[in-house]
Amino acid sequence: MDRHGIALSILSLNSPAIQAIPDPRAAAETARRANDALADAIARRPDRFAGFAALPMQDPEAAALELTRSVRDLGFKGALVNGFSERGGAVLYYDDAIYLPFWSVAEQLGVPFYLHPRDPLPSREPIYEGHPWLRGSAWAFGAETAVHALRLMASGLFDRHPRLTIVLGHLGEGLPYSAWRIDHRLSKSPRGIPARQTITTYLRSNVYLTTSGNFRTPTLLDAIAEVGVDRIMFSVDYPFEDTSDAAAWFDTAEISEDDRRKIGRENAAALFGFALIRDL
């Protein structure tokens, strides 16, 4: 961090972690222990680290309680959840009506929910059979997360909770570049979609993007054009990406210095309630 001018990092639990624990009670206990361990680590260097809570989404009530504890008692800046959750033999996506009370709590707390990727279960995605190179972060991570995010937006979640914010990594998992066509086709054939607004509207009002693991200037410029520079934040995706790669790209990307300051620090400071930090 010192070498590359990164003043503060928000830490979280790796994927799939809690989401792959099928027993709700075990998931809740593991999430609590993980959050306590993270809080202890942050307490040793609170000037350099902050945290996202791991949540047992297998039990929406337990998830709401753990989010509340993590924000109010541990000082965490939000939650990071690794995609869908497994419960018994079921797969749970968070547009399900059982999560409506959870989303109310998240909105009341005023903290963002980072929807992080995980691989789809092989039994549910036979299209990847025989093509292991398409699984993981090369493709399946982003495709799985993009559809999950679309489910949230299309369900009307943000109509019910207009102050709710989610974060998507990798410059939006491809959604900013497909939003026009999605909206265009839905305008021709809405098929009973509950959402009152367009996908583009939600991207610009309820979603933040990070640059994690997507260090490509034309892609960044397209994201700025689609969602606005105020909704994009610098991120590395360490330890899965090299910090030097992320920093070298961002420091020399052909964007204005005003945009570089916003993406590099000001947008995150505003979203997470940080004081602006001096240059290292």
Residue 162 lies inside a defined structural domain of this protein = yes
In 3-state terms, what secondary structure has residue 30?
helix
Q: What is the pLDDT of residue 164?
A: 98
CATH of the domain at 35: 3.20.20.140
Q: Average of pLDDT values for 205-228?
A: 98
CA atoms within 13 A on the CB side of 95: 17
Q: What is the pLDDT of residue 275?
A: 79
Tokens 């980072």 belong to: 114
In angstroms, what CA-CA distances link 261 with 7, 8, 168, 174?
A: 13, 15, 20, 24
Q: Assess whether 237 carries a catalytic annotation.
A: yes
Q: Average of pLDDT values for 165-178?
A: 98
Convert the pLDDT of each residue in 237-273 to its tens digit.
999 999 999 999 999 999 999 999 999 999 999 999 9
Which of these is catalytic: 2, 36, 237, 279? 237
Residue type (1 letter), 74:
L
Residue 278 lies inside a defined structural domain of this protein = no
Q: Do the bridges between strand 79-82 and strand 9-11 make them parallel or antiparallel, or are there none, so unpaired? A: unpaired
Tokens representing 119 are 């691989």
**Average pLDDT of the chain?**
96
Q: Average of pLDDT values for 151-176?
A: 98
Q: What is the pTM of this model?
A: 0.96
Q: Average of pLDDT values for 46-53?
A: 97
Residue 3 lies inside a defined structural domain of this protein = no
- Check whether 278 has a pLDDT greater than 60: no
Q: How many domains does the structure of the chain reveal?
A: 1
Domain that holds residue 105: 9-272
In 3-state terms, what secondary structure has residue 242?
coil
Residue 134 lies inside a defined structural domain of this protein = yes
Q: Do the bridges between strand 166-168 and strand 207-210 make them parallel or antiparallel, or are there none, so unpaired? A: parallel
Q: Average of pLDDT values for 33-51?
A: 97
Residue 66 lies inside a defined structural domain of this protein = yes
Q: What is the pLDDT of residue 280?
A: 47
In 3-state terms, what secondary structure has residue 191?
coil
Residue 1 lies inside a defined structural domain of this protein = no
Residue 51 lies inside a defined structural domain of this protein = yes
Short-list 150, 91, 92, CA closest to 123: 91
Convert the pLDDT of each residue in 103-150 to its tens digit.
999 999 999 999 999 999 999 999 999 999 999 999 999 999 999 999
